[in-house]
Structure 1
Amino acid sequence: MTAPAVVAQESVFEIIEVTGSHQGSYSTVTPEASTPVADISGLLSKLPGTEVNGNGPLTGIAQYRGLFGDRVNTKVNGVSLAGAGPNAMDTPLSYASLINSERVEMTRGIAPVSAGANTIGGSVKVVESQASFDDVSGKVAAQYQDNGEQSHIGAKANLGNKKHAVLVYGDQMQGNDDQQTGTSLAISPTTYDKTIVGGQYRFNLSNNSVNDESIAIGYQHLETTDAGTPALPMDIDFIRTDRVKVEGQHDLSDWDLNWHLAYSDARHGMNNFSERVKNDNVSARYNNAESESYDSALSLAKDAWIFGLDAQLSEHNSVITDPTKPMFSVDNFNGVTDNTLSTFGQWQQDIDRWNWQLGLRVKHYQTDADEVNHSMAASMPAIKVLMDRYNNSDRSQSQTGFDLVVNARYRVDESLSWIIGLARKQDSASYQQRYLWVPMQSTGGLADGRTYVGKMDLELETAYQLELGADYHNDRLSLSPRIFLHRIDDYIQGVTATDPAVIMAAKMMGDNNPMEFANVDAQLFGMDITAIYQLTPHWQLEMLANYVSGERRDIEDNLYRIAPPKINLGLNYQRGNWLARIEGVAVSGQDKVSQTQLEQTTAGYGLVNLSLAYDADNWLIKAGVNNLLDRDYQDHLAGYNRVANSDISIGERMPGVGLNAWLTGEYRF
């Protein structure tokens, strides 16, 4: 019951594929098909409708059609595990291994209910290699980028016979210098040091290596040190995370049973003085954060049906101190629990020329938090009011929501299909949006320079989604346009704070215009298009274009941090083992900005990128130059500079990276 592929490009530079399955239509890109990246999130800009909010070289947050952060269901190796950082320094995608990642998948359009519990903003999956039977293979890969002296070396190996299989892998990533803009300004700090090691053991439950019945256990350790995040008030001192996943696949009377249980223990330290210069009038701050999280899922599939149960459970703690003042201590978040339990059913079937997919998911959200303390409460009445109000309130919240999705594809003929999708989806507030009790910038990576307070009783966001599109392909042309409309009731974003205690507490910390999270009404609409045209047997032209507009419906204003319109044109050449590509990227100015959040506009710009590769049977070498013309520009999704005494003024929009020459290579065995 799989629909035919409608867009496919076999190129070492970019692979975009759209297929139909129980998981819905999706677009993919592989690390080998892209230019070098320090973080797997760098691949997102190659996918239709998808961009990345970058707060630093290792802190990419997925954005899909204007929605970002927790609204985008993000899974690495099939699981959703919470990071430790209250400002999303360890984003979900930062846990993906570059060497072990086979591809990044983005559900094109409305994500089916089987994709995950919270898919109001779509679904991103990083598909990693698994230990495989009857296979002995491996890969060694390395890359170097001149701008920032960024390097990566990674290796993986699989050893498998009919009964047992072992996979091991490791990555070492470094940025030894600050990146430079097109006018030779240092983007500081953008250095980093990151290591990932992991492995998996799989045991075959069947009598042969063909049947897909097995159990496996996997482990990953991640360590990041001395990494800059110039769009945030602090940098990464360390991130140390251990993750374990146990999983199984079984055949039960023609039903396919899949299950997993995953656990994460994340520790995170950040500060405002080790990677950046701290002015004398600024207090030293160190934040110790930690989280424990569980992700479990069970699904049963047979023919047209798939049913499932899943749960995501997490606890978060974050304490802010001043190394120069031992008595100073603030509970940023204390004993915050954020749990989601859900169940779903999905049916997908071909009926005449139609392929129908219908799904329902019911979700129960439960959150709670312990009491907090602030060492300055005795001397600051406003903070004492906020602390007592928080501690005396009923912090336990419980809500139930549901998602309903209808996706349909009508096949006109072998070349043309029409697509329609309808959905009603709900999502809960993040723990930061509920339990940020004193004005701070721990906002899950908003990077707008504002201080916020949360609201415990935020309503569920409710989105009504419409998708219309077409897939056309013949021997030379593939064309896939989509248009979409999302009307979201009770959309959660920052509004100007009106609470006198909040305003007074914020003024004590130097912010005269604090924000508070609230439910508003919003609307997003736009389109994205992919096209590939085979000019000759050796020359191929491709295009990727995105447009999205996000606005408030309750007042005259726009939504915050919406990606500007963009078009990417690439000309590919392939003859034998040689491949070459010239790419032009045109990004429009963005003047539809959030006045409420004092968002700055940005000007449009254009970039030229070049690539050349030789791909042999078991080795590959690639070289290229990004931003060939060394253009100076500002990235609208990169936030604002928070670092004093740097080449970029405080509060100025973060610039993009200038000319960047790079080289990659890999050996496969």
Structure 2
Amino acid sequence: MKRTSLSLSIMLSLFLPSLAHAEHDHDVKELEKVTVSGEAIQPLPQDDADLNLQALKSKRAASSDTASLLDGIPGVSLYGAGGVSSLPVISGLADDRLRIKVDGMDLISACANHMNPPLSYISPTNVSELKVYSGITPVSSGGDSIGGTIIVKSKQPEFAKDANSVLKKGEIGAFYRSNGDARGANLSATLATENFSLNYTGSTSKANNYDAADNFKPAGPAASDRGWLDGDEVGSTAYETRNHALNLGFKLDNHVLQLKLAHQDIPYQGFPNQRMDMTENRSNSINLIYNGLFDWGTVEASAYHEKTHHKMQFGDDKKFLYGVDALGMPMETEGSNTGLSLKTEVMLNQRDLLRVGTELQKYRLDDYWEASGSTGMMAPNTFENINNGQRDRYAIYTEWEADWTSKWTTLAGIRHETVKMDADNVQGYNTTNYNPTAFNNADKSKTDNNLDLSLLGRFTPSENASYEFGYAQKTRSPNLYERYAWSTNGMAMRMVNLAGDGNGYVGNVDLDPEVAHTISFTADWHDADKQDWNITFTPYISYVNDFIDAKRCSGQAGMMAVCTAANLTTTDNFVYLQYDNVSAKLYGADLSVAKHLYHDDKIGHISGQAVFNYVRGKNRDTGDNLYNIMPLNATFTLQHEKGAWHNTAEWQVVEAKDRVNHERNEQETAGYGLLNLRTSYEWKQARVDFGIDNVLDKAYSQPLSGAYTGQGATMGTSVPWGITVPGMGRSFYTALSYSF
């Protein structure tokens, strides 16, 4: 009995092509399929959203950031960051609060500013499957997170039809975007027999700084020792990235073994909301994956190892020379990530399905800053931010799914994780300005025993409706920076920032794990054939005990101290904070509507979609708003299809953000509306995309873009406060691809 996943909140900008009854010309090649879905429950049996790859390719043409492919899924938004490193948000929870798996690997950002998040390690052109589990996530897909789960898979191995044939295929593509002079190319090639498959995928992209729609600052030198920036040029937004992947597949009857090798090289990536820039990121990974189908069920197993060498320094738009001979501030991070996982599905009978699994992850991190200059603040020692940081996870789970009747299905699961963390003693640049004594004397060895629970049910009273409801307890332990970043020196604190808000942070060894209690309900109404219309409504609420927020530090005195009484009261400047546990509440609702509007053999098919998202986040201890919560927003999409021609008009509307986090002096943003247009045409072996983003050249700042620290003497305190990172102005783009 085959089980497929339940798609509750489908990305509507991609969904309507599957609703429309398009008649393709006979000479048009059948498009490759890709699974892109937003899901609340994976195991309950209902068809996935199986979508035409052309819709995904339209998004690839507009951005080199894999996280941007999630844009438009109900409940999902994006934190601003570098050009290929934005951070997804699900229902107000982001970054390490989400579980993000890339080809089965639990990747971890090895950076004090989280410049290399998991989704930055795979190119958009190499994505073949992308799933989002929001709301109640089953324990088999969750773990060490309190939000949803994002699963991304690269292209799977393809095999020849029989022993007498050989499969040879490939694709080459290129793109150009006018704003920022972005350009890039990609190549994929496959050679396969009936039982062996070899695939190579490579891509490269490069861009200059982009321009906002209007001046948001005075024109002038980016810094005293740097070049000129126009008033509308957004500093520190240039990037260059290269990705290579080799996938070997072996198939024998119902068993498939894959060996995936991947290499990433990012020579530079600017960050407009961080005080540092990425000046190198090299990552290598090896990933062994097994999938087997047996008479009694299935087995999935994987083993991986990933190593990252990450460097930060001041890029072309940030001051480089400090004092007499301090050439910037070199920062390096080395991360090592090894993992194992085993998952089995056993069909007990026609009603009951049992899932049992175990996972292990071993992570090591060294974060060190070499001395800069012969004297002064950054000499003579190497600053050790995290020395031999250790974070190991051991997990086991079981899950029971039962089809009680044709109308009732339930899912219950339990998961236990042991998270062990530790770090060695550290040192500062010198003993005058950096004193690690308290940290070195602290008990840094921590063991968390975390418990996850999930209980879900689905009721399908008719062919036009289904209703889902559930409860989950989810737990996340702190990351290494939240626990072990130790220095309260102002300059060192400003270099540790996971939020993009320009503030300085110090860790807290005594943090407790976050525990979220979530209740969610989803109503899904549709026509009987699921071809004409669909309405999905999902309200939810989460109470989080020991939510890891931040409070302003105090209690210091002296000329160099920053954790002072004044730090507690300032409302118009950057501040200094320490991570701290609080009680929090998040609640909201997502609404999606899709309708097939018109069909004519001459005109083609016209369909419409709308997605509405609302979320609130509160600190229950202080009454303050949680940081970086997206205001009410909506996306309206009108699509036209005729044969191989696809046209889309999209209007994004965002309410003004005036509910901000006062503890961080978070800045408000104005409301705005953006119009985007795109079109594509596909021949038998070729495809062309063309689009215009921000057609009306609207000046705006995305609510989650962060504070603008993209130019100037960013190591110090002279960066102007009160400027948000502006969005991109009008941009024309085109992409070409050819299959062979």
TM over 0.5: yes
Judging changes above 3 Å, is the alpha-carbon distance between structure 1 residues 502 and 114 closer, same or farther for their aligned structure 2 residues? farther
Alpha-carbon shift at residue 485 of structure 1 (Å):
0.3
Alpha-carbon shift at residue 147 of structure 1 (Å):
0.4
Judging changes above 3 Å, is the alpha-carbon distance between structure 1 residues 502 and 557 closer, same or farther for their aligned structure 2 residues? farther
Corresponding position of 1:287: 331
Match status 1:428 vs 2:477: yes
Judging changes above 3 Å, is the alpha-carbon distance between structure 1 residues 496 and 309 closer, same or farther for their aligned structure 2 residues? same
1:654 to 716, 725, 728: 725
Contact 1:227–1:236 (Cα < 8 Å) also in 2: yes
SS at match of 2:71: helix
- In structure 1, what residue type is equivalent to 2:425? E
Alpha-carbon shift at residue 394 of structure 1 (Å):
1.4
Match status 1:259 vs 2:301: yes
Cα distance in 2, alignment partners of residues 113 and 502 from structure 1: 50
Cα distance in 2, alignment partners of residues 95 and 374 from structure 1: 31
Cα distance in 2, alignment partners of residues 93 and 23 from structure 1: 26
Judging changes above 3 Å, is the alpha-carbon distance between structure 1 residues 243 and 28 closer, same or farther for their aligned structure 2 residues? farther
1:178 to 209, 213, 230: 209
Alpha-carbon shift at residue 136 of structure 1 (Å):
3.2
Corresponding position of 1:228: 270
Match status 1:536 vs 2:603: no
Taking structure 2 as the reference length, the TM-score comes to 0.84
Contact 2:516–2:545 (Cα < 8 Å) also in 1: yes
Deviations along 1:522-545, one digit per CA (max 9) or x if unpaired, are: 000001112111111211010111
Corresponding position of 2:244: 197
Cα distance in 1, alignment partners of residues 494 and 364 from structure 2: 20
SS at match of 2:302: strand
Corresponding position of 2:226: none
Judging changes above 3 Å, is the alpha-carbon distance between structure 1 residues 572 and 655 closer, same or farther for their aligned structure 2 residues? same
Corresponding position of 2:711: 644
Corresponding position of 2:419: 365
- In structure 1, what residue type is equivalent to 2:335? S
Corresponding position of 1:562: 629
Cα distance in 1, alignment partners of residues 172 and 251 from structure 2: 27
SS at match of 2:345: strand
Corresponding position of 1:486: 542
1:343 to 396, 419, 434: 396
1:137 to 145, 157, 169: 169
Judging changes above 3 Å, is the alpha-carbon distance between structure 1 residues 3 and 653 closer, same or farther for their aligned structure 2 residues? closer
Judging changes above 3 Å, is the alpha-carbon distance between structure 1 residues 401 and 5 closer, same or farther for their aligned structure 2 residues? closer
- In structure 1, what residue type is equivalent to 2:478? A
SS at match of 1:419: strand
Match status 1:118 vs 2:144: yes
Corresponding position of 1:584: 651
Deviations along 1:123-156, one digit per CA (max 9) or x if unpaired, are: 0111211222214332222221110011121111
Corresponding position of 2:89: 63
Corresponding position of 2:370: 321
Corresponding position of 2:193: 161
Contact 2:669–2:701 (Cα < 8 Å) also in 1: yes
Cα distance in 2, alignment partners of residues 499 and 263 from structure 1: 43
Judging changes above 3 Å, is the alpha-carbon distance between structure 1 residues 301 and 151 closer, same or farther for their aligned structure 2 residues? same
Deviations along 1:66-119, one digit per CA (max 9) or x if unpaired, are: 001101101111211223222111111100122211132111321111113224
Alpha-carbon shift at residue 3 of structure 1 (Å):
6.5
Judging changes above 3 Å, is the alpha-carbon distance between structure 1 residues 452 and 630 closer, same or farther for their aligned structure 2 residues? same
- In structure 2, what residue type is equivalent to 1:151? R
Contact 1:143–1:151 (Cα < 8 Å) also in 2: yes
Cα distance in 1, alignment partners of residues 673 and 585 from structure 2: 29
Corresponding position of 1:299: 343
Cα distance in 1, alignment partners of residues 157 and 720 from structure 2: 49
Count of aligned residue pairs for this structure pair: 657
Corresponding position of 2:221: none
Contact 2:628–2:704 (Cα < 8 Å) also in 1: yes
2:498 to 432, 441, 445: 445
Corresponding position of 2:562: 506
- In structure 1, what residue type is equivalent to 2:214? T
Cα distance in 2, alignment partners of residues 16 and 244 from structure 1: 25
Judging changes above 3 Å, is the alpha-carbon distance between structure 1 residues 41 and 320 closer, same or farther for their aligned structure 2 residues? same
Cα distance in 1, alignment partners of residues 595 and 120 from structure 2: 34
SS at match of 1:41: helix
Contact 1:532–1:543 (Cα < 8 Å) also in 2: yes
Superposed CA RMSD: 2.6
Deviations along 1:32-76, one digit per CA (max 9) or x if unpaired, are: 142521210112222110111112212211111000110110111
SS at match of 1:390: helix
Judging changes above 3 Å, is the alpha-carbon distance between structure 1 residues 463 and 519 closer, same or farther for their aligned structure 2 residues? same
Judging changes above 3 Å, is the alpha-carbon distance between structure 1 residues 455 and 504 closer, same or farther for their aligned structure 2 residues? farther
> Which deviates more, 592-601 or 615-624?
615-624
Match status 1:41 vs 2:41: no
Cα distance in 2, alignment partners of residues 598 and 181 from structure 1: 24
Corresponding position of 1:629: 696
Deviations along 1:278-306, one digit per CA (max 9) or x if unpaired, are: 47569621101110011211011122111
- In structure 1, what residue type is equivalent to 2:98? V
Corresponding position of 1:518: 580
Contact 1:348–1:356 (Cα < 8 Å) also in 2: yes
- In structure 2, what residue type is equivalent to 1:217? L
Alpha-carbon shift at residue 645 of structure 1 (Å):
4.4
> Which deviates more, 246-255 or 330-339?
246-255
Contact 2:175–2:734 (Cα < 8 Å) also in 1: yes
Corresponding position of 2:514: 461
Cα distance in 1, alignment partners of residues 271 and 206 from structure 2: 15
Taking structure 1 as the reference length, the TM-score comes to 0.93
Cα distance in 2, alignment partners of residues 587 and 392 from structure 1: 49
Corresponding position of 1:32: 57
Contact 1:81–1:263 (Cα < 8 Å) also in 2: no
Corresponding position of 2:21: none
Cα distance in 2, alignment partners of residues 337 and 348 from structure 1: 36
> Which deviates more, 12-21 or 497-506?
12-21
Contact 1:143–1:662 (Cα < 8 Å) also in 2: yes
Deviations along 1:198-247, one digit per CA (max 9) or x if unpaired, are: 101122233xxxx2x02221110100012111111111110011011012
- In structure 2, what residue type is equivalent to 1:225? P
Cα distance in 1, alignment partners of residues 6 and 368 from structure 2: 52
SS at match of 2:57: helix
Query: Percent of aligned pairs with the same residue?
Result: 24
Cα distance in 1, alignment partners of residues 613 and 559 from structure 2: 39
Judging changes above 3 Å, is the alpha-carbon distance between structure 1 residues 511 and 90 closer, same or farther for their aligned structure 2 residues? farther
Alpha-carbon shift at residue 447 of structure 1 (Å):
1.1
Corresponding position of 1:22: 43
